[in-house]
């Protein structure tokens, strides 16, 4: 087994343009390492920049879904899409955000039937309906979400995050992106 | 049949923040109308901004694929994903870019078997492999692309555009986005 | 890209047996060209004759579905089956019959979610249920159709047309049948 | 369990128009019973007539595939399509034509892997490629058939019979057509 | 066509360890032949022993489902899984247990839509939900079964038999297991 | 979220028949806890006994695959089948057996493309071919395995373990079996 991070060129933090180096540097400092996705997208700075912007617009947005719920959408759809990088990396973040050491593995291994409360189930059902066979997505999916109490603003959050990670999962599959070893253990033991 | 553009709030050009109004305004001037995708995403300016940035980074990039080839990727994967907005809107652009009034309909209705030259076929095969069942995407797909003469830079273009429209198609399905009437006819008759 | 009409032998109008030459001639005169399906099936006159008889029995039948509705069934199921010839050729006829320049593209690109009135939706849902995974077709599909007001005579029309084009789509896929250029533009601009 | 033959009106032999009564009568005399498909289609005589014509043009054609091979195509694709009527009725005919009491059950239960000689395997592979996911049918399928020695005339036979039974299977699913009891035992014991 | 029973080593009754020889011998005496599954598994006696134990624990259990209902589960799921050996062998047993010469062929060719009474339909629906796409199996499936009157003990029977034959079908596919000729005719004619 | 172990009755160690209590007791002593699968199957002692026998015959067998390779088959197919219990429980065992804290998550999230050495890849490819769409399993799958150096004895191991966990995964889906909390962390940190 090779140690390569990506099938395509990978950049180090110091090789990034100033704005991206600073921006990714903040994340690296907080995590203690540079998540591989940034090293893999970095050889195309304009794309990495747009990716970070889109990511922050949706994942750091205030209002709407909680941060744990946003990660729930990511882990559920990435599990359904069999995206190893996103399952492992965002699984770690979900464990931390939800303060639950089991949730990520249970959601990613079977998002369709994992036991969740009604709101969690509505979020995941909506996300899965759009993540897969999205041509079938319709009014019935929206109605079910609304009946479980999701607002239209929250529905947009679920839908847009699902869409963003439909892209993200495919970038990870394109590059055979390898999760940083640190992600596997993050959030598994109470600190 | 209703005339609504989206299931969610829609904005007019003049309601967009300055930078977006100007940016979308340039497109609107060139096309003669405001493509509905911008009106549908506009109620979340940060997301529209990131979308435009990502789009331009990939679709306006110099080097790598030609502009017609970039649209070929969009129409093939949007056809496979059954995304009406992207098939109709980017079908129009493909007709114009490829100067071919039939290509878009032939690609979108059956991207798997549409007759293309070897390079076109390699581009579409690669795109389809990543657009659908992307968990199966692997070295074999890259090898086939390289054997048909695609460079790694071009392969990234195909992969990243496919990924972007995996997102874009899902945003259109989320919103039930309706194509502007103008798109249906663009590029069908020689001007 | 080659100009070939079919992977198999193709006949010209004048090479057909008398009865077929006359019959196809009438169609050619009305359209201004000989639709390629007739040239592709013509090397087996007995099969072309049965095809025309079956087609006319269902598509020219009086009573039951309107002619536009019959074409709606064809375009929806051919879209689901990714049959380029039938999507392009019957898309043209649907535009003309329904006097709607957008409907065919919207139905063929996503028959599952295209916005239709209740009767149109019931017709398309029934057709799709039988076109794909037809082993699952059952009482529930019939009940839904009846609840939307379709009579049993109309249900048979929908089912039998769907069945006929399950055949027709496969003949087009067998032959890689190419649509006549004229079909792409027919019915797009008001005359 | 009801005894009904079809979900739609059923006719008796004597209620058919003269030409059809005579034609179906010949079959009934030979078999000892009126196959239910004719009683189920008979309420629409023009459709039954076209069906019989198409059937005879393909199944009674001299040259090309043998009669047993034609039934092999029917049983393989009807098995893949889970069509009970066609599996049972044409299974009986295949047993008789191939003089093999096991072949029909083995082909219909798993057409993809049933052990056949090279020619039989080529015929069934070609038929299955067109019967299911026919949008993917392409040059590779034709090449494989030709490499196993099938002529283009035989390939057309396989393709056209597959297409005809794509229709026929759907008519049986539409009507929930029940096989005549006689079919279950025909050809199972040497006479 | 070869006569081989399995792709892997096959044992004769007299080569089995004493306990298995006796146990399989009883079955052989009753049937008049040694069912091929025992000859194919016999080269791994510990596995054959566990297989027989599991089989008897579920198929010979008193209480819960009737013996005919247990075979109904086997034939329905083996039909859905396209397992020739199990369809043919257990089809014979179902014909005998249900005293119905048609039921097995009708269930195996289309388990989703075969006409059954309410209890039979509930059993088959539950079995199919677990046999295929089992990740989607959930509370809704259990509720439907309970609403049709199945007890939890009977539900376990259906589920566990379905699970056992998910294994059994795969062993038959692994070995290309050939049904004994006797099975094809058993139970077809009243004795 | 409830804490329930199974949808069906659950037994405690001390409620099991003597032989099973002793047998499961040994496992519990070694692990420090009673794996939930035994508590969930224990209300049907004959089935639990056969399950343990089959499990041991395949997973504790000497010769053929290594113990880590046997767990690789389990984790790969349980990942493909989205079986949370087996992914989490056998993921833990795989981490321990392979002395690799990352392998289980990488295999279970995407068994089709996880990077493995040639032998590992051959084992997983063979297992996946039989786990899913097993009707398509054929000579080509065996040849590929043999070409990568697997013996027929090893191929049987892969196939039989895959078959056993096709059953096991379905029992877990039937019961909504919940993994013991201990499994999530086992083998993640060097001891």
Cβ C42 vs Cβ C11: under 8 Å? yes
Residue C22 CA from chain centroid, whole number: 22
Cα radius of gyration rounded to whole Å, chain A: 17
Residue D76 Cα, gap to closest chain F Cα (Å): 14
Residue D1 pLDDT exceeds 60:
no
Contacts of B80 (CB under 8 A, 6+ apart): B111, B112, B128, B131, B132
pLDDT, averaged across chain D: 96
Residue F139 Cα, gap to closest chain D Cα (Å): 9
C-alpha–C-alpha distance, residues E74 and B15, integer Å: 63
Q: Provide the pLDDT for residue C189.
A: 87
Kindly tell me whether chain E and chain B come into contact, counting contact as 3+ Cβ pairs under 8 Å.
no
Tell me the pLDDT band of D191, cut-offs 50, 70 and 90.
low
Cβ A138 vs Cβ C113: under 8 Å? yes
Residue B149 pLDDT exceeds 80:
yes
Residue D2 pLDDT exceeds 90:
no
Mark yes or no for CB contact F138/D112 under 8 Å: yes
Residue E112 Cα, gap to closest chain C Cα (Å): 6
Residue F137 Cα, gap to closest chain D Cα (Å): 7
- With H, G, I as helix, E, B as strand and everything else as coil, classify residue F68: helix
Mark yes or no for CB contact F130/E163 under 8 Å: no
ipTM surpasses 0.85: yes
Start-to-end CA distance of chain B, whole Å, equals: 32
Residues of B with CB under 8 A from a CB of C: 1-2, 79, 82-84, 87-88, 101-102, 105-106, 108-110, 112-117, 173, 176, 179, 181, 184-185, 188-189
Cβ E119 vs Cβ E150: under 8 Å? yes
Comparing alpha-carbon positions, the chain D residue that sits nearest to F140 is D113
Cβ D88 vs Cβ E105: under 8 Å? yes
Mark yes or no for CB contact A116/F173 under 8 Å: no
C-alpha–C-alpha distance, residues D19 and C56, integer Å: 19
Residue E79 pLDDT exceeds 90:
yes
Residue C99 Cα, gap to closest chain D Cα (Å): 29
Tell me the pLDDT band of C191, cut-offs 50, 70 and 90.
low
C-alpha–C-alpha distance, residues C39 and C12, integer Å: 6
**Smallest Cα–Cα separation from E73: which of E163, E161, E169?**
E161
- State the best of D82, D106, D110, D125 to mutate against chain F, taking most chain F CBs within 10 Å: D110
pLDDT, averaged across chain C: 96
Comparing alpha-carbon positions, the chain A residue that sits nearest to C115 is A138
> What pLDDT digit, counting tens, does each position of F152-178 carry?
999 999 999 999 999 999 999 999 999
C-alpha–C-alpha distance, residues E9 and C83, integer Å: 47
Long-range contacts of B35-39 (CB under 8 A, 24+ apart): B35/B89, B35/B180, B35/B183, B36/B5, B36/B6, B36/B10, B36/B85, B36/B177, B36/B178, B36/B179, B36/B180, B37/B85, B37/B89, B37/B168, B37/B171, B37/B172, B37/B177, B39/B5, B39/B6, B39/B10, B39/B11, B39/B12, B39/B13
Residue A2 pLDDT exceeds 80:
no
Residues of A in contact with C112 (CB under 8 A): 135-136, 138
Cβ D175 vs Cβ D40: under 8 Å? yes
Kindly tell me whether chain B and chain D come into contact, counting contact as 3+ Cβ pairs under 8 Å.
yes
Contacts of C35 (CB under 8 A, 6+ apart): C27, C28, C89, C180, C183
Name the residue facing D84 among E84, E87, E110 (closest C-beta). E110
Q: Where are the domains of chain C?
A: 13-60, 67-175
Neighbour subunits, F (≥3 Cβ pairs < 8 A): A, B, D, E
Residues of D in contact with F138 (CB under 8 A): 112-113
Residues of E in contact with C138 (CB under 8 A): 112-113
pTM for this entry: 0.97
Residue B20 pLDDT exceeds 90:
yes
- Count Cβ–Cβ pairs < 8 Å, chain A vs chain F: 71
Residues of C in contact with E110 (CB under 8 A): 135
Residue F53 pLDDT exceeds 90:
yes
- What share of chain F has pLDDT > 90, as a percent? 96
Residues of E in contact with F168 (CB under 8 A): 163
Tell me the pLDDT band of E3, cut-offs 50, 70 and 90.
low
C-alpha–C-alpha distance, residues E122 and C180, integer Å: 51
Residues of B in contact with A134 (CB under 8 A): 81, 83, 169-170, 173
Q: Provide the pLDDT for residue B154.
A: 98
Q: Provide the pLDDT for residue E189.
A: 87
C-alpha–C-alpha distance, residues F125 and B75, integer Å: 33
| Residue the block writes with tokens 């479980």 | A148
Which tokens hold the place of A38?
Answer: 């940034």
Cβ E57 vs Cβ F46: under 8 Å? yes
Residue F1 pLDDT exceeds 90:
no
pLDDT, averaged across chain A: 96
The H or E element spanning position D85 is: helix D84-98
Residue A190 Cα, gap to closest chain B Cα (Å): 32
Tally Cβ neighbours within 10 Å of residue A152: 13
Q: Provide the pLDDT for residue C1.
A: 41
Please state which CATH class domain A67-175 belongs to. mainly alpha
**Smallest Cα–Cα separation from F53: which of F41, F67, F66, F68?**
F41
- CATH fold of C13-60 reads 1.20.5
Cβ A10 vs Cβ A39: under 8 Å? yes
Residues of E in contact with F160 (CB under 8 A): 44, 47, 171, 174
Residue C134 Cα, gap to closest chain E Cα (Å): 10
Across the range B155-165, mean pLDDT stands at 98
C-alpha–C-alpha distance, residues D75 and D96, integer Å: 13
Weakest-pLDDT range from A79-83, B21-25, C60-64: C60-64
Query: What is the dihedral sign for C-alpha C118, C124, C130, C136?
Result: negative
Comparing alpha-carbon positions, the chain F residue that sits nearest to B133 is F112
Name the residue facing A53 among B50, B61, B171 (closest C-beta). B50
**Smallest Cα–Cα separation from A108: which of D84, B40, F184?**
F184
Mark yes or no for CB contact E138/A110 under 8 Å: no
C-alpha–C-alpha distance, residues F132 and F121, integer Å: 16
Weakest-pLDDT range from A96-105, D1-10, E76-85, E94-103: D1-10
Residue D148 pLDDT exceeds 80:
yes
């Amino acid at each position: 087994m090779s140690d390569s991070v990506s099938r395509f060129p990978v950049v180090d933090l110091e090789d990034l343009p100033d704005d991206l180096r600073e921006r990714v540097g903040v994340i690296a400092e907080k995590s203690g390492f540079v998540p591989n996705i940034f090293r893999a997208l970095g050889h195309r700075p304009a794309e990495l920049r747009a990716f970070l912007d889109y990511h922050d617009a949706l994942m750091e947005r205030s209002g709407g879904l909680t941060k744990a719920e946003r990660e729930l959408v990511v882990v559920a759809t990435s599990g359904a899409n069999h995206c190893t990088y996103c399952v492992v990396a965002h699984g770690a973040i979900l464990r931390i955000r939800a303060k639950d050491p089991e949730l990520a593995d249970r959601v990613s291994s079977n998002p369709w039937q994992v036991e969740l409360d009604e709101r969690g189930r509505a979020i995941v059902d909506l996300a899965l309906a759009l993540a897969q066979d999205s041509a079938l997505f319709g009014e019935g999916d929206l109605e079910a979400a609304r009946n479980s109490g999701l607002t239209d603003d929250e529905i947009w959050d679920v839908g847009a995050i699902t869409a963003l990670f439909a892209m993200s999962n495919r970038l990870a599959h394109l590059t055979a992106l390898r999760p940083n070893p640190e992600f596997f253990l993050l959030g598994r033991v109470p600190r």
